[in-house]
Amino acid sequence: MEVLRERILAEGQNLGRGILKIDSFLNHQVDAELMEAVGEEIAKWFTGSGATLVLTAEVSGIIPALMTGKAMGNLPVLYARKHKPITMMEPVYVDGAPSHTKGGEVLLMVSPEFLHANDRVLIVDDFLASGRTIDALGRIVANSGAALVGIATVVEKTFEGGRDVLAHWGVPIEAVASITDMSGDEIVVA
């Protein structure tokens, strides 16, 4: 998607250690029109998947997941919480993943109230880097008995190997934009 590629090159900042800052349109401030186009692009890839639910992790995955759910006929969008609110009753599906930007492990929690064995789940997130957060979401789906039908991200950093980590799920993996190199100060978009 050329407009996303252009925005990454124009506004993205390489902070080193593989961290890409795209806060001006996704990870802090959101460009709703761009994210709507991203959701429509992802929806094109997964229209025939039979998805009944879109799953993401809070916080930055929520907007692209929401736009994807909307573009796929207003599918429900469920996000894994990182902090358990008092309204989330036990038991819950829980899995952990290291956070590259937070510098530690985060727990992801989903209520069985909203994730059922008969669901067909499309995971949508902001980044695919190491793949460990998305892998944790996949384990939550598997533990619920639901079927994982695909994985999509706004940006994939191909040099971090996350796609290989997720290959065991045997589902299509798509990214709207792929970053192939961030060595030095560069950001190279495929």
What tens digit of pLDDT does each residue of 123-144 get? 999 999 999 999 999 999 999 9
Q: 85: domain range?
A: 2-189
**Number of domains, the chain:** 1
* 144: CATH: 3.40.50.2020
Q: Which residues of the chain have pLDDT under 50?
A: none
The predicted pLDDT at position 101 comes to 65
Expressed in angstroms, the distance from the first to the final Cα of the chain is: 10
- Tell me the one-letter amino acid at 136: A
Q: Residues 58, 82: contact at Cβ < 8 Å?
A: yes
Strands 173-181 and 188-189: antiparallel
